Chains A and B, each alone.
Chain A
Amino acid sequence: MTVTKADVPVTTASNEPAGESEPAGSARSERLSALIQQHGALAVLVIVSLVASFSFDSFATGDNVSNMATSSAFLAIVALGMTFVIITGGIDLSVGSLFALGGVLAAWGSRHGTLVALLLPLLVCGLIGVVNGLLVAKSRLAPFIVTLAAMLGARGLLLAVTDEGADTFLIGKGSVLAELGQGTTLGLGNPVWITLALFVAGAVVLRRTRFGQHVYAVGGNEDAAALMGAPVARTKILVYTLSGLLAGLAGALNAAWLASGVTILGNGMELEAISAVVIGGTLLTGGLGYVSGSLVGVLLLKVIQNVINQIGSLDSSYQQVVSGAFLAVVVIAQTWLGRRRQLM
């Protein structure tokens, strides 16, 4: 934000005459900027998918699409929570650890019944989310550093639960939990349907409820939101709690899908989730963002990964190079688009 302010004197000089002489044109280009910002990732996703389905026979097959959808589901659930946090202007680095912790707790709890297996990860990860939220909202510590500490702490907790990573808990075949993760409905895996339901709910909450409006208000301008009477602290605590809950749920579902609580999962997942959210058009400065964009961002990352696997001759490390380059391009484009919109 400071950046844009600092650059205003330089850039307005060249833009002002154009803005004054053709106001209609500037309104149109503002709409165009907004359109690219919101739907740019979707356009790229469609193009990449079309090119891939023409180039590789095995891309647009039912099996491949269903696999991609299932493997996207877990990241998408994490990215959903991250979207809320980022719209408030915060960030949650603990989700990768919470994802792994959720999986291990679900697998451990599955020996005591499905209810325990589902509730335990939600309870623990939700609580860590509450602590994150309290430290950010009440003690006013930087979200970056608070959730970084939570990332380490949750990983430590995970190691403590699994005897320093030596124990792997399994989820029995045929249990309700296993069915939830591995079963399919109408050709798509159950996790995919759960993810879709969560995204619909997330979009409704963000767009149609008072809490959703508070999330945008806090991210747009915290002081203004407080002056208008929005419960800033409560909103922040709730978004970090939500992010923790969703990361734990995603981990539990993933464990159900894999039939075990794998301890080494979730490393770097926070970065993937942040990338997906940013690619989807949500601004890291807060105040502007779309739940649907994050879903598109996740799909785009997974499609790129799939395409690189399809090419086969390319090593999987190219995927990191492409993801990084793609993220850089998106961020540059967004910064330019965002600046244009603010200037006009």
Chain B
Amino acid sequence: MTCAETEILLHALLDGELDAGHARDVEAHLEGCPRCAAQFRAHREMQQAMSAVQLQFTAPTSLRQRIERALPSAPKRVSNRRSMLKGFVMGTALSAAMAASLVIGVIRTDQDQRVLADVTSAHVRSLQGDHLTDVQTSDQHTVKPWFNGKVDIAPPVVDLTAQGFTLLGGRLDYIDGKAVASIVYRRRVHVINLFVAQGAASEGYGAKLETMQGFNIERWSAQGLEFFAISDINAEELQEFVEKFDKALHSASGT
């Protein structure tokens, strides 16, 4: 492989776009060519520097609202019993495993509705301006104590970086008039806010997917706490997040 070819193909290697055979060829060239190897390192360094900051823009709330209004029959979430049960049936079709744990919380009450609206607007707010995190660190042992005295719970903070969800930090937020902890993660370019609040029920309930204003929200309860994970990533990836968080949580608490 020539240097000219490598100078193009090293980018495909960097982006994980090469099949095994070509990847080996490029790697073999990089081993024997200090100049191309230096180029590869330089581009990798820049790629990492770019992914370390938030280069995405957040759509203004006014734009989101204008688009919503332009859609026929704008999202009036009818909260009569029948439509909620219909939602439940569709939910079970989505995931049998999730349905097994869906015992309570089937009926969406006005209270639930308000909480979800709060969660959504807190998420949107966090993406605007520069107030995503109050404490910015990828170290879970720094985030957890930071919440001491700020909220009346001790939110579990787990590092899921190895599982593909980077811990960005923590933030204090307000849901339903109460101070709650938000633990902020990132999946590629997407932000996940995990809100942790005091749970009402002592018995936990399994994760339940909701959508609001186009955001996916997973809500569940465990260890006397209530969790809301919200993001614009797709539902499957958000479920994956919940599963990984739950697993890490259980192994941390030894249950």
- A, B assembled together: no
Q: Which residues of B contact A (CB under 8 A)?
A: none
